[in-house]
Amino acid sequence: MTRADLPSASTRRWVASRKAAVANAVSYGLLDREEACRIYALSEEELDSWTRAVSEHGTQALKATALQRFRA
């Protein structure tokens, strides 16, 4: 994964694959947390929830239709 694989900074529609790309970029050190929050206008809590969901359940946990199933 490279920065070219990340969603555009102007992304407004967050599908599971885009959320996972940002979460994985942070997890693997491609982006630091502060930079990701600033670029994508995310709160730290939102980014944390994406990262946690991907690490615990995979990309499927980020789908809007699956939120209830994977929520702790």
Residue boundaries of the structural domains of the chain:
13-70
Looking at 7-11, 33-37, 63-67, which range is the least confident one?
63-67
pLDDT tier at 66 (50, 70, 90 boundaries)? low
| Mean pLDDT within 6-30 | 96
Distance (Å) of CA 25 to CA 5, 18, 33, 56, 63: 10, 11, 9, 16, 18
Domain 13-70 has CATH 1.10.10.10: yes
CB 47 within 8 A of CB 36: yes
